[in-house]
Structure formats: C-alpha cells, structure tokens
Structure 1
Amino acid sequence: MEQYYQGLVGYLTARLRDRNMAADVAHDAYLKVLESPRLNGLEYPKAFLYRTAINLCVDAFRRNVVRHSEPLNDLIAEECPRRQSPQASLYELQRAEMVMVALDELSDKCREAFLLRKLEGLCHEQIAAAMGISKASVEKHIVNAMKHCRVRVFEMEQHSARAKR
C-alpha cells in the first residue's frame, strides 16, 4: 500500500490546492484503509484508497460549507448589492436549497459521483477509479443525478407556486 502514497498526495494536492492538507487527508485515508476489515480481500486496493481519500475530502467540504454558509451568504450580499435584487437573491437561495434536498434523495453512490464531478471537477475516469466502479456506471450516476435534480426542483417550484395562490 505504501507505493500509492506519493501518487495519492499528488492527486489530492491537485484537487485541494494545498499540499499539507493533501498529506493530512492521505494519512487519514491510509489509516482508515489499514484499519478496514476488508483490506485483505480487496481486489483493487488503490481504488479503495483513493475512494476513501475522496470521501474524506467530501466530508470535510460538507463540514466546511455548513460552517461557513452564513458568512459566505453575507459576503455574496456585500459583494454584489447592485447586481441582484433581493427577490432574485432569495430565489437563488431557495433554488439552491431545493437542489440540496434533491441531492439528499439520491443514493450514496449517485450523489458521490455527481459531487465529485461538479464540486471536485474530476473526470469520469478519475471518479471511476476513486469509487471502484466502471466509467459507464459513473456516467449513469451523473446523468441520473442531473435528471433527478432537474425534475425535483421543477416539482418543488410548482408546489411552491401553487401554495402561493
């Protein structure tokens, strides 16, 4: 397993843009993988290691988003007061909340593939390697996530419009 360490740190550094953070995540991923009861039966240990590291990054990102959501909204409001009306800003926030609800309704793998593509900017091959699934499965998950979000946001907007009448 040690032979993957430098590659993993390089991979994470490119994604996180911080070598120290990448090394910390790689270290945590190694600990999780080495403590895993499935370690001896893994067919693709490198893919499992990368997937674990990406999961740790996604978890940290989610914690960071929750922790910084209010100041970020304040920053956006201060930065663009003339570009958007309060109604447009409210609409965008409501729409973002609808997307979050829709994402929470997805299966874990579907949501993970979608977030790795849209938030991390990984290509389908990288996502497939990280998740230990085929490229076709990644494509299927991303398409399904996009369709689901589009349909659910539309449904929620329709419901909201009917409620206002």
Structure 2
Amino acid sequence: MVAKPDNNKTSSILSSVYSAFLGSESALRRYLGRFLYRQEDIDDMVQETFLRAYRATRQRDIEFPKAYLFRVAKSVAMRELGRKAHQMTDYLEEAAAEEAPQPGSLEEHLQAEQTIQLYCNAIAELPPQCRRVFLMRKYQALSHKEIARELNISVGAVEKQVTLGIRRCMTYMEKQEAAADSSLPPAHQEHSHD
C-alpha cells in the first residue's frame, strides 16, 4: 500500500491520480502479473508506477489518471523485462564462457554470441504466460510443481507451456538460421555446411 503524499503542493490532480491508484491497485497488480511472476517484483513495480505517476503530476496535468497509471505500469514492466533479459543474456554468456573447454577462433566466438542472442530473441517472442513458465523452468530451475503452485495453474499446464516454449524457440532459431544461410553467397553456403 502506498502512503498518500503529504505536502503543500498536493492538488486536485494529485488527488485524482491517488484516487485512481487506490481504485485500480488490484487491477494494476493483475496487469503487471501478466509481465512479471514474482510477487516481490509486482509489489516493486506497483510502487514504482505510483511514484512515476506522482512525479508526473508535478510537471503536467494528467487528464485521465487511471489510463495514465496503466500506461506507466506497462512502461515500468517493459523496462524491468528488458533488465531481466540483459541479466539472462549475461548469465548465458557467463555460462557459455565457463563451459567452453578452450578458446576458439574469433568466428566460433562470434557464432556462439549470435546463437545466444537468437535464443534470447526467441524467448522474448514467446507469449507472456509461456515465457513466464519457460523462464521459471529454464532460468530459475524451478520444478513443474513449484511453478504450478507459484502461478496457480496445473502441473499439466506447466508441462504444456514448457513444451510449447521449447518448440517455439527451436522453430524461431531454425527460421533465423535458415534466413541467415539463404542470405550468404553460394560459395560461402557450401563451405558453411562442410
């Protein structure tokens, strides 16, 4: 719960943003739950949404406070997802570096980085619920039961989403690799398949 700001500049605009927030807090939590799955993250993003909306009232009039809150919430969620994607990319790069038995050529290193980037792009393209389940399973290494309990869905639904995520990621990567191969000159294509 966010405490009502107490200062002399509290205006009817701020009151309308605060009122809109109070009336929409549970809806904001559900909305942010579409992007984020950890309750702590959702709590933080709800707080951040209110603070950003509050700061904005000091700079301009907010004509539709409820709609503005949801727009801010989406922006906050997208920023958080971007931050988490960067963390995942860093993690995957570190894991790949640790697993590499010996330093390869520059071409191999570049190809590995491109594969990691493709994988991250494939995950980003998954539908929100599928992406959430997939990351909980693959990135956080949670069991199907733990994911089901956390998201309040069946274990079967978790299994279905993980399978869907794997299939879609593989399809995405195959399409991207095929598109990259088809854009190579013919001589290079023959060499790349040796």
Give the TM-score range, shorter chain: 0.5 to 0.7
CA drift at 1:85: 1.7
TM-score (norm 2): 0.49
CA drift at 1:84: 2.0
What secondary structure, in the 3-state scheme, does the structure 1 residue paired with 2:183 have?
helix
Contact 1:116/1:122 (8 A) holds in 2:
yes
- Segments of structure 2 that go 5 or more residues without pairing to the other structure are 1-24, 30-36, 45-76, 186-194
Q: Which amino acid aligns with 2:162?
A: I
CA drift at 1:117: 0.5
Query: Would the alpha carbon gap of residues 131 and 92 (structure 1) be closer, same or farther in structure 2, given more than 3 Å must change?
Result: same
Q: Which amino acid aligns with 2:26?
A: S
The total of aligned residue pairs comes to 118
CA drift at 1:132: 1.4
CA drift at 1:97: 1.2
Query: Would the alpha carbon gap of residues 61 and 103 (structure 1) be closer, same or farther in structure 2, given more than 3 Å must change?
Result: closer
Q: Which amino acid aligns with 2:125?
A: E
Alignment of 1:104 with 2:124, yes or no, is yes
- Segments of structure 1 that go 5 or more residues without pairing to the other structure are 1-34, 40-50
Map Cα deviations across residues 26-60 of structure 1 (whole Å, 9 max, x no partner): xxxxxxxxx42599xxxxxxxxxxx4437559x86
Q: Which has the higher contact order (CA 8 A, sep 6+)?
A: 1
Map Cα deviations across residues 64-115 of structure 1 (whole Å, 9 max, x no partner): 6637968x969x87xx795222111111111111112211221101001000
Alignment of 1:136 with 2:126, yes or no, is no
TM-score (norm 1): 0.57
Q: Which amino acid aligns with 1:103?
A: I
Higher helix share: 1
Partner of 1:36: 26
Query: Would the alpha carbon gap of residues 130 and 143 (structure 1) be closer, same or farther in structure 2, given more than 3 Å must change?
Result: same
Query: Would the alpha carbon gap of residues 37 and 135 (structure 1) be closer, same or farther in structure 2, given more than 3 Å must change?
Result: same
Map Cα deviations across residues 128-152 of structure 1 (whole Å, 9 max, x no partner): 1111111111000000000111111
Partner of 1:116: 136
Q: Which amino acid aligns with 1:119?
A: Y
CA drift at 1:62: 5.5
Alignment of 1:85 with 2:105, yes or no, is yes
In 2, distance between residues paired with 1:146 and 1:163?
A: 26
In 2, distance between residues paired with 1:143 and 1:68?
A: 20
RMSD over aligned Cα, in angstroms? 3.7
